[in-house]
Amino acid sequence: MTARKIKLGLPKGSLEESTFKLFEKAGFKIQKTSRSYFPTINDEEIEPMMMRAQEIARYVEQGVLDCGLTGWDWVLENNAKVVDVADLIYSKASMRPVRWVLAAPEDGKIKSVKDLEGKRIATEVVNIAKKYLKDNGVRAEVEFSWGATEAKPPLLADAIIEVTETGSSLRANKLKILDTVMESNTKFIANREAWADRHKREKMEEIVLLLKGALLGAEKVGLKMNVPCKNLEGVLSILPALNKPTISSLSDTEWVAVETVIDEKMVRKIIPDLKRRGAQGIIEYGLNKIIP
Protein backbone atom coordinates (compact mmCIF):
# COMPACT_ATOMS: atom_id res chain seq x y z
CA MET A 1 0.00 0.00 0.00
CA THR A 2 2.82 2.41 0.89
CA ALA A 3 4.31 2.15 -2.59
CA ARG A 4 0.98 3.16 -4.09
CA LYS A 5 0.59 6.30 -2.03
CA ILE A 6 0.22 9.64 -3.77
CA LYS A 7 3.05 11.98 -2.80
CA LEU A 8 1.30 15.35 -2.59
CA GLY A 9 3.11 18.68 -2.29
CA LEU A 10 1.30 21.36 -0.28
CA PRO A 11 2.41 25.02 -0.22
CA LYS A 12 4.04 26.19 2.98
CA GLY A 13 3.80 29.88 3.84
CA SER A 14 1.22 32.40 2.66
CA LEU A 15 -1.08 29.80 1.06
CA GLU A 16 -0.76 27.28 3.86
CA GLU A 17 -3.78 28.24 5.96
CA SER A 18 -6.16 28.70 3.04
CA THR A 19 -5.01 25.40 1.51
CA PHE A 20 -5.64 23.51 4.76
CA LYS A 21 -9.12 25.05 4.98
CA LEU A 22 -9.88 24.10 1.38
CA PHE A 23 -8.84 20.49 1.97
CA GLU A 24 -10.95 20.36 5.14
CA LYS A 25 -14.04 21.52 3.22
CA ALA A 26 -13.25 18.84 0.65
CA GLY A 27 -13.23 16.20 3.41
CA PHE A 28 -9.49 15.88 4.02
CA LYS A 29 -8.35 16.66 7.56
CA ILE A 30 -4.70 17.73 7.55
CA GLN A 31 -2.85 18.10 10.83
CA LYS A 32 0.64 19.43 11.31
CA THR A 33 2.87 17.46 13.64
CA SER A 34 6.24 18.11 15.24
CA ARG A 35 7.64 17.15 11.83
CA SER A 36 6.01 20.22 10.34
CA TYR A 37 7.06 19.37 6.79
CA PHE A 38 5.26 16.02 6.95
CA PRO A 39 1.69 16.57 8.18
CA THR A 40 -0.82 13.78 8.67
CA ILE A 41 -3.99 13.38 6.62
CA ASN A 42 -7.10 11.23 7.09
CA ASP A 43 -6.51 9.35 3.84
CA GLU A 44 -4.09 6.43 3.82
CA GLU A 45 -3.55 6.76 0.06
CA ILE A 46 -2.06 10.28 0.35
CA GLU A 47 1.39 11.17 1.68
CA PRO A 48 1.50 14.98 2.05
CA MET A 49 4.64 17.07 2.27
CA MET A 50 4.92 20.79 2.95
CA MET A 51 7.34 22.94 0.96
CA ARG A 52 7.62 26.39 -0.51
CA ALA A 53 5.27 26.97 -3.44
CA GLN A 54 8.26 28.18 -5.47
CA GLU A 55 9.79 24.67 -5.34
CA ILE A 56 6.79 22.41 -5.82
CA ALA A 57 6.68 22.51 -9.64
CA ARG A 58 10.34 21.51 -9.88
CA TYR A 59 9.91 18.57 -7.53
CA VAL A 60 6.78 17.43 -9.34
CA GLU A 61 8.65 17.53 -12.65
CA GLN A 62 11.50 15.47 -11.16
CA GLY A 63 9.12 12.88 -9.69
CA VAL A 64 10.01 13.57 -6.06
CA LEU A 65 6.32 14.45 -5.79
CA ASP A 66 3.52 12.83 -7.77
CA CYS A 67 1.44 15.99 -7.67
CA GLY A 68 1.06 19.27 -5.86
CA LEU A 69 -0.63 22.63 -5.51
CA THR A 70 1.31 25.68 -6.59
CA GLY A 71 0.88 28.88 -8.54
CA TRP A 72 1.01 28.88 -12.32
CA ASP A 73 3.60 31.64 -11.96
CA TRP A 74 6.03 29.22 -10.31
CA VAL A 75 5.41 26.59 -12.99
CA LEU A 76 6.42 29.16 -15.62
CA GLU A 77 9.30 30.57 -13.57
CA ASN A 78 10.80 27.08 -13.23
CA ASN A 79 9.90 26.13 -16.82
CA ALA A 80 8.59 22.91 -15.28
CA LYS A 81 7.32 20.19 -17.60
CA VAL A 82 4.27 18.98 -15.68
CA VAL A 83 0.65 18.06 -16.33
CA ASP A 84 -1.72 20.99 -15.76
CA VAL A 85 -4.58 19.07 -14.13
CA ALA A 86 -6.89 21.80 -12.84
CA ASP A 87 -7.31 25.44 -11.87
CA LEU A 88 -8.02 25.97 -8.18
CA ILE A 89 -8.68 29.68 -7.91
CA TYR A 90 -8.07 30.75 -4.35
CA SER A 91 -5.38 32.77 -2.60
CA LYS A 92 -4.44 33.85 0.91
CA ALA A 93 -6.85 36.80 0.99
CA SER A 94 -9.50 36.15 -1.64
CA MET A 95 -11.00 33.77 -4.18
CA ARG A 96 -9.43 35.69 -7.06
CA PRO A 97 -6.23 35.22 -9.09
CA VAL A 98 -3.17 37.20 -8.00
CA ARG A 99 -1.27 39.60 -10.25
CA TRP A 100 2.43 40.13 -10.86
CA VAL A 101 2.75 43.84 -11.56
CA LEU A 102 5.40 46.31 -12.60
CA ALA A 103 5.62 49.07 -10.00
CA ALA A 104 7.82 52.13 -9.53
CA PRO A 105 7.95 55.15 -7.18
CA GLU A 106 4.85 57.34 -7.45
CA ASP A 107 6.85 60.53 -7.95
CA GLY A 108 9.59 59.00 -10.14
CA LYS A 109 10.35 59.32 -13.84
CA ILE A 110 9.41 55.76 -14.74
CA LYS A 111 5.90 55.82 -16.18
CA SER A 112 5.85 52.67 -18.35
CA VAL A 113 7.87 49.60 -19.23
CA LYS A 114 9.64 51.58 -22.00
CA ASP A 115 11.25 53.80 -19.36
CA LEU A 116 13.10 50.79 -17.93
CA GLU A 117 15.79 50.77 -20.63
CA GLY A 118 19.13 50.41 -18.84
CA LYS A 119 17.48 50.38 -15.41
CA ARG A 120 17.47 47.81 -12.58
CA ILE A 121 14.43 45.73 -11.66
CA ALA A 122 14.15 43.65 -8.48
CA THR A 123 11.85 40.62 -8.39
CA GLU A 124 11.40 37.04 -7.23
CA VAL A 125 10.38 35.92 -10.74
CA VAL A 126 13.57 36.61 -12.69
CA ASN A 127 12.73 34.45 -15.72
CA ILE A 128 9.21 35.86 -16.03
CA ALA A 129 10.61 39.39 -15.74
CA LYS A 130 13.24 38.79 -18.41
CA LYS A 131 10.63 37.42 -20.82
CA TYR A 132 8.36 40.41 -20.10
CA LEU A 133 11.17 42.86 -20.88
CA LYS A 134 12.14 40.97 -24.03
CA ASP A 135 8.53 40.94 -25.24
CA ASN A 136 8.48 44.73 -24.80
CA GLY A 137 11.84 45.25 -26.51
CA VAL A 138 13.49 46.62 -23.37
CA ARG A 139 17.01 45.82 -22.12
CA ALA A 140 17.38 46.15 -18.37
CA GLU A 141 19.10 44.46 -15.45
CA VAL A 142 16.96 41.99 -13.50
CA GLU A 143 18.13 40.92 -10.08
CA PHE A 144 16.64 38.33 -7.73
CA SER A 145 15.00 39.74 -4.63
CA TRP A 146 15.11 37.67 -1.45
CA GLY A 147 12.20 39.57 0.08
CA ALA A 148 10.96 43.00 1.14
CA THR A 149 10.91 43.84 -2.56
CA GLU A 150 8.53 46.80 -2.09
CA ALA A 151 11.15 48.58 0.03
CA LYS A 152 13.91 48.52 -2.60
CA PRO A 153 12.96 51.46 -4.87
CA PRO A 154 14.42 53.94 -5.39
CA LEU A 155 17.76 53.21 -3.68
CA LEU A 156 18.27 49.51 -4.46
CA ALA A 157 16.18 49.24 -7.62
CA ASP A 158 14.51 51.54 -10.12
CA ALA A 159 11.38 49.41 -10.30
CA ILE A 160 10.05 46.07 -9.13
CA ILE A 161 7.91 43.25 -10.43
CA GLU A 162 5.93 42.02 -7.45
CA VAL A 163 2.89 39.88 -6.69
CA THR A 164 -0.21 41.55 -5.29
CA GLU A 165 -3.84 40.83 -4.49
CA THR A 166 -5.06 44.24 -3.40
CA GLY A 167 -2.14 46.59 -4.10
CA SER A 168 -2.25 47.91 -0.52
CA SER A 169 1.36 47.01 0.30
CA LEU A 170 2.59 48.75 -2.83
CA ARG A 171 0.62 51.89 -2.04
CA ALA A 172 1.95 51.86 1.52
CA ASN A 173 5.46 51.98 0.10
CA LYS A 174 4.52 54.85 -2.25
CA LEU A 175 4.74 52.70 -5.36
CA LYS A 176 2.48 52.99 -8.38
CA ILE A 177 1.38 50.02 -10.50
CA LEU A 178 2.39 50.66 -14.12
CA ASP A 179 1.45 47.39 -15.79
CA THR A 180 0.24 43.85 -15.15
CA VAL A 181 2.94 41.40 -16.13
CA MET A 182 0.78 38.31 -15.64
CA GLU A 183 -2.11 36.87 -13.66
CA SER A 184 -1.69 33.64 -11.76
CA ASN A 185 -3.78 31.25 -9.71
CA THR A 186 -3.20 28.02 -7.87
CA LYS A 187 -2.97 24.90 -10.01
CA PHE A 188 -3.13 21.22 -9.27
CA ILE A 189 -0.21 19.82 -11.23
CA ALA A 190 1.03 16.27 -11.72
CA ASN A 191 4.20 14.47 -12.68
CA ARG A 192 3.89 13.07 -16.21
CA GLU A 193 4.78 9.48 -15.25
CA ALA A 194 2.49 9.55 -12.22
CA TRP A 195 -0.37 10.85 -14.39
CA ALA A 196 0.17 7.93 -16.77
CA ASP A 197 -0.24 5.47 -13.86
CA ARG A 198 -3.93 4.51 -13.80
CA HIS A 199 -4.18 4.09 -10.02
CA LYS A 200 -2.42 7.36 -9.26
CA ARG A 201 -4.33 9.26 -11.91
CA GLU A 202 -7.70 8.06 -10.57
CA LYS A 203 -6.71 9.11 -7.05
CA MET A 204 -5.57 12.54 -8.22
CA GLU A 205 -8.81 13.00 -10.16
CA GLU A 206 -10.78 12.15 -7.01
CA ILE A 207 -8.83 14.75 -5.00
CA VAL A 208 -9.37 17.42 -7.67
CA LEU A 209 -13.10 16.62 -7.92
CA LEU A 210 -13.54 17.20 -4.18
CA LEU A 211 -11.34 20.32 -4.08
CA LYS A 212 -13.23 21.91 -6.98
CA GLY A 213 -16.52 20.99 -5.31
CA ALA A 214 -15.36 22.72 -2.12
CA LEU A 215 -14.38 25.86 -4.04
CA LEU A 216 -17.72 25.95 -5.83
CA GLY A 217 -19.54 25.41 -2.54
CA ALA A 218 -17.74 28.39 -1.00
CA GLU A 219 -19.32 30.70 -3.60
CA LYS A 220 -22.89 29.39 -3.23
CA VAL A 221 -25.59 29.09 -0.59
CA GLY A 222 -28.78 27.10 -0.39
CA LEU A 223 -32.20 28.70 -0.02
CA LYS A 224 -35.36 27.02 1.26
CA MET A 225 -38.77 28.68 1.46
CA ASN A 226 -42.50 28.07 1.50
CA VAL A 227 -44.49 29.66 -1.31
CA PRO A 228 -48.26 29.91 -1.94
CA CYS A 229 -49.11 28.10 -5.17
CA LYS A 230 -50.68 31.28 -6.54
CA ASN A 231 -47.31 33.09 -6.12
CA LEU A 232 -45.08 30.28 -7.40
CA GLU A 233 -44.63 31.59 -10.93
CA GLY A 234 -43.57 35.02 -9.67
CA VAL A 235 -41.04 33.50 -7.23
CA LEU A 236 -39.56 31.16 -9.85
CA SER A 237 -39.14 34.03 -12.30
CA ILE A 238 -36.48 35.66 -10.10
CA LEU A 239 -34.91 32.49 -8.71
CA PRO A 240 -31.72 31.28 -10.44
CA ALA A 241 -30.48 27.74 -9.90
CA LEU A 242 -27.72 25.36 -10.98
CA ASN A 243 -30.41 23.49 -12.91
CA LYS A 244 -33.99 24.14 -11.76
CA PRO A 245 -35.35 24.75 -8.25
CA THR A 246 -36.71 21.73 -6.40
CA ILE A 247 -40.43 22.03 -5.68
CA SER A 248 -42.04 19.79 -3.07
CA SER A 249 -45.62 19.37 -1.93
CA LEU A 250 -46.71 20.37 1.59
CA SER A 251 -49.54 19.05 3.73
CA ASP A 252 -51.37 22.28 2.91
CA THR A 253 -52.11 21.81 -0.78
CA GLU A 254 -52.23 25.57 -1.35
CA TRP A 255 -48.49 25.82 -0.52
CA VAL A 256 -45.27 24.28 -1.87
CA ALA A 257 -41.69 24.14 -0.59
CA VAL A 258 -39.02 25.53 -2.91
CA GLU A 259 -35.29 24.83 -2.59
CA THR A 260 -32.44 26.10 -4.74
CA VAL A 261 -28.73 27.03 -4.84
CA ILE A 262 -27.59 30.55 -5.73
CA ASP A 263 -24.48 32.72 -5.68
CA GLU A 264 -23.89 34.03 -2.17
CA LYS A 265 -23.42 37.57 -3.50
CA MET A 266 -27.03 37.56 -4.75
CA VAL A 267 -28.60 36.77 -1.37
CA ARG A 268 -28.82 40.33 -0.05
CA LYS A 269 -30.89 41.45 -3.02
CA ILE A 270 -32.95 38.37 -3.74
CA ILE A 271 -34.33 37.61 -0.25
CA PRO A 272 -36.31 40.90 0.02
CA ASP A 273 -37.60 40.30 -3.53
CA LEU A 274 -38.71 36.78 -2.61
CA LYS A 275 -40.48 38.11 0.47
CA ARG A 276 -42.32 40.72 -1.60
CA ARG A 277 -43.47 37.98 -3.99
CA GLY A 278 -45.02 35.93 -1.22
CA ALA A 279 -42.28 33.56 -0.05
CA GLN A 280 -42.29 32.78 3.67
CA GLY A 281 -40.05 30.88 6.11
CA ILE A 282 -36.98 31.64 4.01
CA ILE A 283 -33.89 29.74 5.21
CA GLU A 284 -30.35 30.37 3.99
CA TYR A 285 -27.70 27.70 4.65
CA GLY A 286 -24.05 27.22 3.77
CA LEU A 287 -22.73 24.51 1.49
CA ASN A 288 -19.63 22.39 1.99
CA LYS A 289 -19.25 21.09 -1.57
CA ILE A 290 -21.08 21.23 -4.87
CA ILE A 291 -20.30 18.49 -7.37
CA PRO A 292 -21.80 19.48 -10.75
Sketch out the chain's domains with CATH numbers: 2-95+186-196 (3.40.190.10), 98-183 (3.40.190.10), 220-286 (3.30.70.120)
Band of residue 33 on the pLDDT scale cut at 50, 70, 90: confident
Q: How far is CA 288 from CA 41, 189, 217, 246, in A?
A: 19, 24, 5, 19
Per-residue confidence (pLDDT) for residue 58, from 0 to 100? 97
With pLDDT > 90 as the criterion, what percentage of the chain qualifies? Answer: 84
Average pLDDT, the chain: 92
For the segment 198-224, what is each residue's pLDDT rounded down to a tens digit? 999 999 999 999 999 999 998 899 999
Would the pLDDT of 105 be above 50?
A: yes
* Across 135-151, average pLDDT: 94
Band of residue 15 on the pLDDT scale cut at 50, 70, 90: confident
Would the pLDDT of 2 be above 50?
A: no
**Which three-class secondary structure state does DSSP give residue 132?**
helix
Per-residue confidence (pLDDT) for residue 224, from 0 to 100? 96
For the segment 235-253, what is each residue's pLDDT rounded down to a tens digit? 999 997 666 899 999 999 9
Say what the pTM is.
0.85
* Across 164-190, average pLDDT: 92
Q: 108-117, long-range: CB within 8 Å, 24+ apart, which pairs?
A: 108/153, 108/154, 108/158, 110/158, 110/159, 110/178, 111/178, 112/178, 112/179, 113/138, 113/178, 113/179, 114/138, 116/140, 116/158, 116/159
Answer yes or no: are the C-beta atoms of 165 and 180 closer than 8 Å: no
For the segment 223-233, what is each residue's pLDDT rounded down to a tens digit? 999 999 999 99
Would the pLDDT of 286 be above 70?
A: yes
Would the pLDDT of 86 be above 50?
A: yes
C-alpha span between 142 and 85 (Å, rounded): 31
C-alpha span between 263 and 284 (Å, rounded): 12
